[in-house]
Structure 1
């Protein structure tokens, strides 16, 4: 069976965001299955997209983005 083709995305995150990712992956993991930080990111993308599709107001997401460090995208 051929392997699924995946796109790779490289982003810069703060130490605080990395700690949040690590903590979330740890909390979602179980003794039977460890969850990676990449899986947490994919889950978050799906959750945000689903909420937007359900008519979730964009204001909350925009407020989070406005509070981001503008240098992070450089």
Structure 2
């Protein structure tokens, strides 16, 4: 069976964001399965899309994006 084709995305994140990714991956991992930071990012993308599809306020996400912690450099 052929592998799924995936697209690559490179982003610049702060040390704090990297630490959050690492901690989240560690917390989601189990002795049977280690979760990668890439998997955490993919999960977050799916969760945000699902939330927005279920009527979650776009303004809540916009407010997060406009905070100092998320701004692109």
**The two structures share one fold, judged by TM-score above 0.5:** yes
Unaligned runs of 5+ in 1: none
Stretches (4+) displaced over 3 A: none
Q: Cα RMSD over matched residues? A: 0.8
**How many angstroms apart in 1 are the aligned matches of 2:52 and 2:72?**
24
Q: Which of the pair has the greater relative contact order for Cα pairs under 8 Å at 6+ separation?
A: 1
TM-score normalised over the length of structure 2: 0.93
* SS across alignment from 1:31: coil
Instruction: State TM-score, norm by structure 1.
Output: 0.92
Gaps of 5+ in 2: none
